[in-house]
Structure 1
């Protein structure tokens, strides 16, 4: 099927607009503001937690984001961020967008926003965007170039049918993300309740000794975990490889790894926790637990900027929850040293961070509760990878008209 083509601008309901820039004293309160972080992290942006910005009513009128707006990365330090497209959806309160983003608002009488969101995620749409990306150190696009690119324009009814079909995948993916977030929150809350607040199962029956329950002791973290574990592997053999971008800032799930022969970098096995040691990855929260390896391939490697945290005498699930705990993270961040922009965690911070070693029986009880949670997260993550693969295989066929809907 051959679709007509049109300048992208001919589908606009109003001119495209760059986002707002305000000095630091306007940040911290006010309305939600969409930053490049949201653009990288989410395909649909709306109801997530975001930074806030003070805006006047007149400024809000000009820079407001509404459901159906297309948001394009205007400039980025990495090429894939330049022109990256997200869809405003589920806006639940006044929201604006920052200066590194371009807002496009389409005329709903001729264009379906969700269709063009998927269009710019497809190979043909990405090719159109790459044709206008410029810059050396910082990659970017200009609104004037974006409005002039030529796009496919199928009939409105076809756009709507394609969007509905693809939305089915993203609705399921969104449901899985929400379930994973709830499961992870329950595991972290249980960790804090048992090992920080000391309200573990049966706590009221144990006598206290020097402000600690009987059988508990205070130890440096390095006595409980190994941060440089030996992981046996065959030299020259290809293994899964986890880059830094595969770690999430908020979730235990590690994105699908690639493959390469092991050379340098971190080596790890299932149930090891990976912690980013370099700025700003550590401050942003990049942490994950390895659960994707099989008996046939029990080893993987990853970025040189990972710290591998492996249990010595505690539960591996305890290790991951500790790695996400605010107290530990602040301690690790305070230890960072090095040149600006390349600061790294001081390995000695694991010797100076004091924590409580629970009795083995308490850890066994903890594992019995949280292990099914971690396993369920991994099942949902596998389902999401399968859904993503199916959607991405279908996308170019729909956008080329090879499949009629």
Structure 2
């Protein structure tokens, strides 16, 4: 039988526990933008030298909890998965670690991701508008109805089963993306496409390949943000894509914000049909995604509404290869890239011809379709997990 007691968070979880790092040595580094609200784990994509700078410090298995607005509201919370004994990262993380024999590390992640912790943490925020942070002491002393360790482990087993499936799908997605990317490079970068042995080259390119501009492939549309002062413009079912929604996602199947019909009707001509190619051109430039459903975007994104959907896969990878070009042509002397619609649609690409683009489409469209299918599977798994989470954390569902 499960045993539940009212306790403070700090009774079972250490907040910002000490971690020893040596100056001058390299450690895994995790910044806040690498944490995704749709992924349980976060791992480092870079290693940095620790020189004593202000940072959060954590170990494998700890939970990093974004303390600043709007990251906390967006549930940027993750379980750390690194190779090595210790790591460091953004100063805007609180670090949670399960106390030995009192808490399960997996349960710690699920508990601190739940409304029972997140909503009070949001309410505790103080500071200047736009830079508000959750109060550490308030979070530590938060009173919660908590289960005994065996029950924590059973709850974590149930929720982890969903996340294990999600992570397995993410690994499959990554392999499929790599396969499509590698074939693109083989054919259109290394020029080892079918029949290349008998192809003549002129000026370093296969004969017959031509130079075109992005506008040759479809209508270019720059997004727009409906007035945020009118709440009725938001909260509907129409995706509203911003650059953070695009990171790590070939297809956009859900967005942080959604427009209502009223919001859509303020700018109906801006609606992108399914399978448009969206490219971020302001701020973090060169991020590329495809909308799996009709969508609007904000003004930081230029999109191509394709004339011929057989060109989708080839043009997607071609746009991804333009990241450095976008950053170069979008340089304004300021720190932020800003590439206008006029400059974007005039960007030049090397076109290999209709037949080769079609051959590539036939090869990789099944891969793209599988990726989209796995993403929708993950969305369903997340929905089921998130329905279970509050019931398990409250004890309403016996385990």
Distance in 1 (alpha carbons) for counterparts of 2:90 and 2:319: 31
Is residue 2:388 matched to residue 1:402?
Answer: no
1:104 CA displacement: 2.5
Structure 1 partner of 2:324: 330
Distance in 2 (alpha carbons) for counterparts of 1:200 and 1:192: 10
Is residue 2:238 matched to residue 1:240?
Answer: yes
Structure 1 partner of 2:303: 308
Structure 2 partner of 1:317: 313
1:158 CA displacement: 0.6
Distance in 2 (alpha carbons) for counterparts of 1:246 and 1:64: 25
Cα separation, partners in 2 of 1:86 and 1:163, compared to 1, 3 Å: same
Cα separation, partners in 2 of 1:150 and 1:341, compared to 1, 3 Å: farther
2:341 match: secondary structure: coil
2:113 match: secondary structure: coil
Q: Is the 8 A contact 1:122 1:396 kept in 2?
A: yes
Structure 1 partner of 2:228: none
Farther off after superposition, 305-314 or 389-398: 305-314
List, as ranges, runs of 4+ consecutive aligned residues in structure 1 with deviation greater than 6 Å.
18-23
Cα separation, partners in 2 of 1:178 and 1:266, compared to 1, 3 Å: farther
> Which among 154, 157, 168 is matched to residue 150 of structure 2?
157
1:386 match: secondary structure: helix
Distance in 2 (alpha carbons) for counterparts of 1:247 and 1:171: 22
Is residue 2:114 matched to residue 1:116?
Answer: no
Structure 1 partner of 2:229: none
CA RMSD of aligned residues (A): 3.3
Structure 2 partner of 1:232: none
Structure 2 partner of 1:355: 349
1:242 CA displacement: 2.5
Cα separation, partners in 2 of 1:34 and 1:228, compared to 1, 3 Å: closer
1:342 CA displacement: 6.4
Distance in 1 (alpha carbons) for counterparts of 2:195 and 2:221: 35
Distance in 2 (alpha carbons) for counterparts of 1:5 and 1:253: 43
Distance in 2 (alpha carbons) for counterparts of 1:121 and 1:75: 15
Q: Is the 8 A contact 1:31 1:55 kept in 2?
A: yes
1:210 CA displacement: 4.1
Q: Is the 8 A contact 1:7 1:150 kept in 2?
A: yes
Distance in 2 (alpha carbons) for counterparts of 1:134 and 1:100: 14
Structure 2 partner of 1:146: 139
Distance in 1 (alpha carbons) for counterparts of 2:20 and 2:79: 18
TM-score, normalised to structure 1, is: 0.82
TM-score, normalised to structure 2, is: 0.83
Structure 2 partner of 1:6: 7
Distance in 1 (alpha carbons) for counterparts of 2:187 and 2:153: 50
Q: Which runs of 5+ in 1 are unaligned?
A: 230-235, 294-298
Cα separation, partners in 2 of 1:361 and 1:245, compared to 1, 3 Å: closer
Is residue 2:125 matched to residue 1:133?
Answer: yes
Which string of whole-angstrom CA distances, capped at 9 and with x for unpartnered residues, describes residues 51-105 of structure 1?
332137xx79x97532332222233455516x85322235456422332212222
Farther off after superposition, 361-370 or 262-271: 262-271
Is residue 2:146 matched to residue 1:166?
Answer: no
Distance in 1 (alpha carbons) for counterparts of 2:326 and 2:301: 13
> Which among 270, 273, 298 is matched to residue 274 of structure 2?
270
Between the two proteins, the alignment pairs up a number of residues equal to 378
